[in-house]
Chain A
Amino acid sequence: MSRGTADRVVPAPLVAIGRRRRLNTGDQIFRGLAYVAAILVFVIAFILVLALLLPALPSITRFGLGFIVSRVWDPVHEHFGALPAIYGTLVTSAIGIVLAFPIGLGAALFLAEEGGLRMIRGPLSFAIELLAAIPSVVIGLWAFFTLTPLMRANIDPFLNHVFGFLPLFRGTASGYGYLTAGVVLAIMVLPIMTALSRDVIAAVPRALREASLALGATRAETIWSVVLPYARVGITGAILLSLGRALGETIAVTMVIGNSPNISASLFSLGYTLPSVIANEFTEAVGNVYQGALFELALILVVITVLVNVFARLLIWRFKGSEPASA
């Protein structure tokens, strides 16, 4: 079908109704409601930002940009800085993504590509969905009681022994801190990472795979040089959406991060994240500046997550847009 003939395809009566725009009362009411609903979404988003911005003002006016670069968090003397929390949020999320990416992608490839082992494909899908359904506090509880002793006694010393030449794996390991929080986040983002990657890999046109195989490429070569490059943008989107989830995760991270505002090269060191500070301190935060500082942390968190999500959406749209329109 060529673009020139598109107009003729639209049935005449529909065009006529569209032009006259004659709607009956029911339609008009429905249209009105839909408009209200659509506008409400904007209003709610606007109010939400405003509700963060207004209480944050005492802190914003007092500390200015210094808030973002200061490392001090001293409620007694009312000096507040967000840098350790921003750093902790980004580092733990990055560790989570780095760990979850290979596992998620591997599982996604298995689900989308591997035809021979149908037996375990169902259980695997089920396991991934199950993982997604576990409330984060339960994962946190498991991490607090089971993962932290394991990290302290086994995993951290092992990493220190093997990779101790890197500053990342030096220092005393308490079992809490960035690395443990990162492992917890990896577990939590694995389902999203896997499901989204599986979908984009499944969207790779069958013709491309078959062409590659027909040219004599092996299965692995096809995946490596045809499927993955094609799905690359979509997989990047999946990573960013997972990142969005990791950035905002609160309770499970709070339970294992160590809640200590530090900036240290070692992944074994204790840290703090933006959501953890807020969750820990809002109940007893007295005074406008202290409360304002917590609201400003929330604002920073919102800005970071919105940026990541917008970027992810853009990538995924680009991926969908780049699907062969008329091969």
Chain B
Amino acid sequence: MKRFFVGSTAIAALLLAACGSNNGTATNPSTGAANPIPVPPAAALTGAGATFPAPFYDAARFAYNQKFSQVTVNYQAVGSGAGIQQLTKKTVDFGASDVPMNATELTNAGGAGSVVEIASTLGTEGLAYNLQGVANGQLKLTPDTIAGIFLRHITNWNDPALAADNSGVSLPNQPITVVHRSDGSGTTYIFSDYMSTVNAEWKTKIGKGKSLSWPAGEQGASGNAAVATTIKNTPGAIGYVELAYILQTNMTQASLKNHDGQFVIPSAEGATAAATQFPDVTPGQFSIVDAPGKASAPITGYSWLMLYKDQADKTKGTALVDFLYWLVKDGQQYAVTVHYAKLPANMVSNDVTSLKTVTSGGSTLLTVSGS
């Protein structure tokens, strides 16, 4: 199997080298000197992985192809696990995951030093609910009440623990239906990462992961869209949903008490504010939940892209780092249009530093000055 892939990559390399040589030296009139976007050589790039950032990647790769028609980027939204597996088998040029690769995955991919991981976008989650007469942002939830609801200690909306934070809001006598993701997902990972950070009982009982052992009686639905629809269909339901889905489907979401004790309605700006608080984020130390700062949205996380540090095919490798450089710089504007948050400046510069370590045959592929 391996031999076949190596063989086919070699053939692809020859073909690409043959047709790529014309474009390599072309100048790009559309970008100014202040923010030089490198002109990529012709290549067809393939990526696979997480479903959560897929709308952003789709918008971005389309825009990039409009700008540089010699590069086409395909993205298969097959799930983070499958994306990492495909990268490891080298059937794709880049993988995407909501959680950076763990130690085992890195070992399978040839060791931690052989893979470069960059943050591509920023997502945040809200708690969407279906309660008649309780408007958007009116319901206030604290880390303790969220844990209480999801651990089934609080099972009715009229629970005194909820009333304490919600004076002035009439919460009905109605059982709480908890809805969560049934498929393994980065959304669940970030939510459980947050809960494990803020609640000791959650940390020991449930922990963090892409799939969890949920308390009995909670409802699982596959995908953000199905969770959103289930909540909309079920009076008294609550669940964690990606902000993009909450906004697109006009759901009501709770104000969440953040690390500084402020109640905030999760927003893209809140996500960027939270991410700015963690300038030292690395793929090994990536958690940015429960961020300090008045405006920070508490349940926030990066989505990651990974590629091999040593690119076998120089032309393709160059096109790949050029595309990713654009993605973390100019490409961020397309994140906003699909309700994801812009990467903070410190993360962009981390990403560029990482991309500069990508080489082929010993020479650096990304040719930009500064960060």
Residues on A lying within 8 angstroms of B by beta carbon are 72-77, 79, 144-145, 148-149, 152, 172, 174-176, 254-255, 258-260, 262, 269-270, 272, 276, 279-287
Contact = CB atoms under 8 A, between A and B. Distances in A.
B218 A260 contact: yes
A284 B101 CA distance: 12
Among B102, B208, B233, residue most surrounded by chain A Cβ atoms (within 10 Å): B233
B236 to A, nearest CB: 9
B81 A285 contact: yes
Nearest to A277: B182
B104 interface: yes
A259 B178 CA distance: 12
A174 B219 contact: yes
Among B177, B182, B210, residue most surrounded by chain A Cβ atoms (within 10 Å): B182
Interface stretch (B4-12, B164-172, B221-229, B285-293): B221-229
A23 B221 CA distance: 62
Nearest to A254: B222
B214 A260 contact: yes
Query: Which DSSP category, helix, strand, loop or mixed, fits chain B's interface?
Result: loop
Contacts, number: 100
A116 to B, nearest CB: 45
Contacts of A282: 81
A149 to B, nearest CB: 6
A176 B219 contact: yes
25 contacts: A75-B209, A76-B208, A76-B211, A145-B233, A148-B233, A174-B177, A176-B219, A259-B219, A260-B182, A260-B214, A260-B219, A262-B217, A269-B217, A270-B217, A270-B219, A279-B183, A281-B183, A281-B184, A283-B78, A283-B80, A283-B82, A283-B184, A284-B184, A285-B184, A286-B105
Nearest to A73: B213
Contact of A76 (B78, B209, B216): B209
A92 B243 CA distance: 34
A272 B182 CA distance: 10
Given A75-B211, A280-B211, A283-B82, 14 more contacts: A75-B213, A76-B211, A79-B213, A174-B234, A175-B234, A176-B230, A255-B222, A260-B214, A262-B217, A270-B218, A283-B184, A284-B81, A284-B211, A286-B105
B207 interface: yes
B206 interface: yes
B220 interface: yes
B79 interface: yes
Given A175-B234, A254-B222, A286-B104, A281 B216 contact: no
Given A76-B213, A175-B234, A260 B184 contact: no
Contacts of B184: 75, 280-281, 283-285
B183 to A, nearest CB: 4
Nearest to B211: A75
Contacts of B214: 260
B220 A258 contact: yes
B149 to A, nearest CB: 15
A279 B216 CA distance: 20
Given A76-B212, A149-B233, A260 B217 contact: yes
Contacts of B79: 283-284
Contacts of A145: 229, 233
Closest 10 CB pairs of A and B: A284-B184, A259-B220, A283-B79, A259-B182, A74-B213, A76-B209, A76-B207, A75-B211, A284-B210, A284-B81
B142 interface: no
Give the interface residue-count category, chain B.
35 or more
Contacts of A262: 216-217
Interface of B: 78-82, 84, 102, 104-105, 175, 177, 182-185, 192, 206-214, 216-222, 226, 229-230, 233-234
A184 to B, nearest CB: 15
A283 B79 CA distance: 5
Given A255-B222, A259-B219, A283-B81, A172 B102 contact: no
Given A152-B234, A255-B226, A284-B184, A77 B213 contact: yes
A175 B229 CA distance: 13
Contacts of B81: 282-286
Contacts of A172: 175
Contacts of A152: 234
A287 B219 contact: no
Nearest to A286: B81
Contacts of B104: 286-287
A272 B219 CA distance: 10
Contacts of A174: 177, 219, 234
Nearest to B189: A284
Given A152-B234, A286-B105, A77 B207 contact: yes
A10 to B, nearest CB: 53
B226 A281 contact: no
A152 B230 CA distance: 12
Contacts of A287: 104
A46 to B, nearest CB: 20
A171 to B, nearest CB: 9
Among A77, A174, A254, A272, residue most surrounded by chain B Cβ atoms (within 10 Å): A174
Contacts of B206: 76
B46 to A, nearest CB: 18
A269 B214 CA distance: 15
A175 B209 contact: no
A140 to B, nearest CB: 10
Contacts of B222: 254-255, 259, 279-280
